[in-house]
Amino acid sequence: MKQLDVKLMHPVEQINMVIGRIYRTGMTTTSGGNISIRDNNGDIWITPSGVDKGSLTVKDIVCVKKDGSIEGLHKPSSEYPFHKAIFEARPELTAIIHAHPPALVAFSIARQIPNTSITPHARFICGEIGYAPYGCPGSEELGKKIAREFINNNYKAVIMENHGVVLGGTDMMDAYQRFETLEFCCRTIVNAGKLGKVNTLTNKQIENYQSHFTSDINHFTDANYPSDERALRSDMVKIIHRACNQGLMISSFGTASVRWNESDFLITPHNVSRWNITSDDIVQVKNGVAEQGKIPSNQILLHQRIYELNPHINSIISTQPVNLMAHGVSGTKFDVRTIPESWIFLQDVPSVPFGTAYDNLDDLALMFNKYRVLLIENDCVFVTGDKLLNTFDYLEVAEFSANSLVMAASVGPLCPMGDAEIDELRIAFNVK
Ligand SMILES: [Zn+2]
């Protein structure tokens, strides 16, 4: 069952689900943040004022009717004025999220606008970001300042000076994806800045990237689902949800695939929120053709070539965790000669230039003969392995190691293990 169904779930259920997720993933505090939905009648459903975000229930959500009357057990959020102002300014937006997640607040208090062009994906989901000057929380004046940004520039996300962020979406999932993607984009920029310079892409590079990935793929109709295929679907769903809960994947980005028979495999769908994926969403790919009625990840061709050219690989995860991407965005070498576990599990991890994912498909696929993990600059990390759980473990080890390196940058220069220690590990753990 979907955790968030924007078509059929009542607004109170959607709000309750999403505010719970935002709280559990460390993107708001007990008292901070508020979210709302405008329904077809023009009524606005919003989180209440002064109720613990960690234990909210559907009964706590308040409805402000179109005529201004209020229904519910509590007062609406004190920030209701700016929610109302945004809904009035932008009829196509039906969901709003406001919160104070740490990386976005860092930009808000440094009075800077994040450049989302660190990856094509962040740019595509978040777009250009607006900036609203400071206003007293809860005031009509603050509402006007924010609405001005939403009206004048058509932004869907606005940094609030010395406060936080407010984002809109065409539905609650759209708003959530923009919110989470922007916060992870900011965390990546902050971490990349600790390692070196933050490299961004030009509009031309981003357009070029997008033009290379097509969802125009052939489909077959006679899919069948034997027990071993169903078991793999179930494993994939569990690992993808786990990756989202561990901060290794976000709702709008991340692809996983598992080899099923020879070069046939199962892969995540395009455009389904990763933590909302169910077994039914997973796409079966046979002879390079996808099962009917589903759109596979736009990385389908690369995954296919990796399986074809690397018989030892049976699962692949590609994603954008904030510390690995800090290396990928700053052009910093991801040196895994940190602790024995990192090197034993990952061996050396090369970086390849942006664009390699479509410029040299076969060359990239062949690199996995030698390397288990690869970083594509300003794009993503690819992790490969035999069993899906092992691949997931490599991803965790890689992101933890990258996190230690980012932290070490504030402590002192990295002192990597030497060649003698690496040779010793090579022999002791039978690494080729
Ligand atoms: Zn606030």
**Token digits for 199?**
């490299």
Question: Residue 432 above 80 pLDDT?
Answer: no
On whether the CB atoms of residues 75 and 62 are closer than 8 A, the answer is yes
Q: Which of 71, 79, 291, 399 is catalytic?
A: 79
3-state DSSP call for residue 289?
strand
Length in residues, the chain: 432
Report DSSP state, residue 77.
P
pLDDT digits (tens, 9 = 90+) for 111-139: 999 999 999 999 999 999 999 999 999 89
Task: Answer whether 327's CB lies under 8 Å from 405's CB.
Answer: yes
C-alpha of residue 51 to centroid of ligand 1, in Å: 14
Per-residue pLDDT tens for 57-110? 999 999 999 999 999 999 999 999 999 999 999 999 999 999 999 999 999 999
Is residue 215 predicted with pLDDT exceeding 80? no
| Residue 231 in this model has a pLDDT that exceeds 90 | yes
Separation of CA 99 and ligand 1 centre (Å) = 6
Segment 38-56 shows an average pLDDT of: 91
Whether 214 has a pLDDT exceeding 70, the answer reads no
Alpha-carbon distances of 188 from 123, 379, 393, rounded to whole Å: 13, 12, 21
The yes-or-no verdict on residue 164 having pLDDT over 80 is yes
Distance 163 CA to ligand 1 centre (A): 6
Q: How far is the CA of 100 from the centre of ligand 1 (A)?
A: 6
3-state secondary structure of 125: helix
Report d(CA 385, CA 79) in Å as an integer. Answer: 48
For this structure, is 149 an active site residue? no
Q: Where are the alpha helices (DSSP H) in 153-287?
A: 172-195, 203-212, 227-245
Residue 148 CA, ligand 1 centroid: distance in Å:
18
> What pLDDT digit, counting tens, does each position of 283-325 carry?
999 998 999 999 999 999 999 999 999 999 999 999 999 999 9
User: For residue 174, how far is the Cα from the chain centroid?
Assistant: 12
Ligand 1 centroid vs 95 CA: distance in angstroms? 16
Name the pTM for this structure.
0.95
Least confident of 143-157, 207-221, 223-237, 239-253: 207-221
Question: Which residues make beta-bridge pairs with 375?
Answer: 351, 381
The Å distance, Cα 109 to ligand 1 centre, comes to 13
The Å distance, Cα 205 to ligand 1 centre, comes to: 35
Which of 52-61, 94-103, 343-352, 376-385 has the weakest average pLDDT? 52-61
3-state DSSP call for residue 97? strand
